[in-house]
Amino acid sequence: MENLRHSPEVKAFAGMFHYGVLGVAKTEEDVRAGVKKVLESGYTLTAVDVELIYAPLAIELLDGRMTVHSPVSYPLGNMTLKKKLRDLEKMIEVGVRDSAYCLNYRYILDHRFDLVANEVQAAVELNQDIIEIEFNIQATLLNDNEIIGACQAILEGGGGTVKLNTGYGWGTSPEEVALVRRVFDHKLDIHPSGNIRTLAQVDELLKYDVKIIHSMAVFEITDEYISRLAKKGR
Amino acid sequence: MSATWEHIANLIDYTDLRVDTQERDLRLLCLEAEKFGIPTIVVNPVNVSLAASLAKMSNVKVAAAVSYPVGAYWPEAKAMEIADAVEDGADEIYMVMSMGMFLDGRVAEQTIPEMAALVKEAQGRPTKLITEVSVLTVEQKRMVCKLAVDAGIDYLVTSTDFPQSNLPPVTLNDINVLVETAGDSIGIIFKGDFDNIEQVDELLQAGVSRFCTSSVRKLMRFPV
For residue B2, the model assigns a pLDDT of: 60
What domains sit in chain B, N to C, each tagged with a CATH number? Answer: 5-220 (3.20.20.70)
Q: Is the pLDDT of residue A45 over 60?
A: yes
| Residue B53, pLDDT score | 97
pLDDT of residue B224: 52
Per-residue pLDDT tens over the stretch A72-126: 999 999 999 999 999 999 999 999 999 999 999 999 999 999 999 999 999 999 9
Distance from CA of B165 to the nearest CA of A (A): 7
Q: Supply the mean pLDDT for chain A.
A: 96
Residue B210 φ/ψ, nearest 5 degrees: -145, 175
Of the residues A21, A24, A106, A216, the best mutation for testing chain B's interface (the one with the most B CB atoms within 10 Å of its CB) is A24
DSSP code, position B71: -
Average pLDDT over residues A1-12: 90
| A114-131: b (≥16 Cβ within 10 Å) or e | ebbbbbbbbbbeebeeeb
CB-nearest to B81 from A51, A83, A90 is: A83
B20 closest CB neighbour out of A54, A87, A109: A109
Contact A72, A61 (CB under 8 A): no
Rounded CA gap, B20 and B204, in Å?
31
Alpha carbons B223 and B197: distance in angstroms, whole number: 8
**Going by C-beta distance under 8 Å and a sequence separation of 6 or more, which residues neighbour residue A148?**
A179, A180, A183
Q: How many beta carbons lie within 10 A of that of residue A217, not counting itself? A: 18
Q: How many CA atoms lie within 13 A of A97 on its CB side?
A: 12
Residues of chain A contacting B71 with CB distance shorter than 8 Å: 24
Q: What's the confidence (pLDDT) of residue B5?
A: 81
Q: What angle do CA A197, A3, A35 make, to 5 degrees?
A: 50
Determine the pLDDT at residue B1: 56
How wide is the angle at C-alpha A211 spanned by C-alphas A224 and A213, nearest 5°?
60
Stated pTM of the model: 0.95
Return the pLDDT at B219.
Answer: 87
**Amino acid in the structure at residue B175:** I
- Is-contact A73 A101, C-beta < 8 A? yes
pLDDT at residue A3, rounded to an integer: 86
d(CA B87, CA B91): 10
Q: What domains appear along chain A, each with residue ranges and CATH number? A: 2-231 (3.20.20.70)
Question: pLDDT 10s digit of each residue in chain B, 224 long?
Answer: 566 788 899 999 999 999 999 999 999 999 999 999 999 999 999 999 999 999 998 999 999 999 999 999 999 999 999 999 999 999 999 999 999 999 999 999 999 999 999 999 999 999 999 999 999 999 999 999 999 999 999 999 999 999 888 899 999 999 999 999 999 999 999 999 999 888 999 999 999 999 999 999 888 876 65
CB contact under 8 A, B160 and A24: yes
* Interface contact B20-A138, CB threshold 8 A: yes
Count of other CB atoms within 10 angstroms of residue B224: 16
* pLDDT (tens digit per residue) in A73-83: 999 999 999 99
